[in-house]
Amino acid sequence: MQAQATTGGAAQGAAVFDLDGTLIDAAADIAAALAPALAARGLAPLTLAEATSLLGDGLRVFARRAFVLRAAEITRTEENRFVERYLRTPIDQTRLYPGVEATLHRLRGEGWKLAVCTNKVEAAAVDILAQLGILPLFEAVCGGDTVPACKPAPVHLAETIRRAGLRAVPAVMIGDNPADVLAAAACGIPAVFAQWGYGRLGALQGTCAVAARLEDLPALLRAARAPRPAA
C-alpha cells in the first residue's frame, strides 16, 4: 500500500517500522485464530508467552512453528484456514503499545516520514492500522506477501522505502526482531531494536541501538542518522 500520509516539506529522514511487537501487540489475536486448528488435532492452545516467542516471520511460519512446538505438523489446508480465520478478525484484542500514537506524531512533527515494513499479510496490516486510527500517518505499508521475499531479505525493506518515495533521504529501521536488524544491515542503513516487543537480539547484541521505551525513539533516530565522526 502506498502514500497515505499527506505532510509536505523536506523529510528529515525515513523511519521504517515493523508492525507486530513494535507498533502493535497482536499475539493474542493470532494465537486465538490458530486455537481451533490445534483443538481439532487434540492439541493444547498456545499460551501468550508461547505465541510471542514464535512471532516475527509471518503468519504461516508462526503456524508451522506452533504445530512443531506441539510435536505435530500442520497441513496446507489447516494453514490456509488459519490465515483466513485471522484475516476475518485481526483486531479483537490487538492494541497499540502505549505511547505509539504520541511518538509517531512527535516524529512527524520533527520532519520524519514514516512507513511500515511487516512480514504480516499486507491487507491485514492496512486494516489493523486503519482500525487503530494511525494509517494516515504512514507514507506506505509493505507486507510480506507483496514482495519477492520478506525480512530479513533486503528487498522487502528496499521496496518499502521505494513505495514511500523516500529513497533520497536517510532511513532507519525500527523493529523488535533480529530479522529487522538483519534487513537494515543488508540495506546498508542503521536499525533501532524495540526492546519492548516480542523478540530478542541474541547474537546481534551490540550491532544496533536499542530503545527501551517508545519515548526513546526520537533521540535514537536522530543519533542513528547523524554522520559518523571520522576515525
Which pLDDT belongs to residue 12?
81
Confidence label for 146 from pLDDT (cuts 50, 70 and 90): very high
92-141 pLDDT, tens digit per residue, is 999 999 999 999 999 999 999 999 999 999 999 999 999 999 999 999 99
Q: Cα(101)–Cα(156) distance, rounded to whole angstroms?
A: 24
Provide the residue ranges of all domains of the chain, joining segments of one domain with +. 13-25+95-225, 27-88
181: amino acid identity, one letter: V
36-83 pLDDT, tens digit per residue, is 999 999 999 999 999 999 998 889 999 999 999 999 999 999 999 999
Establish whether 25 is a catalytic residue. Answer: no
Return the CATH architecture of domain 27-88. Answer: Orthogonal Bundle (1.10)
**Which is the CATH superfamily of the domain at 13-25+95-225?**
HAD superfamily/HAD-like (3.40.50.1000)
Residues 6+ apart with CB under 8 A from 47: none
177: amino acid identity, one letter: N
Enclosing H/E stretch for 149: none
Residue 71 φ then ψ, to 5° = 60, 40
Which pLDDT belongs to residue 214?
95
Which pLDDT belongs to residue 226?
61
Which pLDDT belongs to residue 5?
59
**pLDDT over threshold 60, residue 6:** no
171-205 pLDDT, tens digit per residue, is 999 999 999 999 999 999 999 999 999 989 888 98
Q: Cα(15)–Cα(24) distance, rounded to whole angstroms?
A: 16
Residues 6+ apart with CB under 8 A from 33: 82, 85, 86, 89
**pLDDT over threshold 50, residue 229:** no
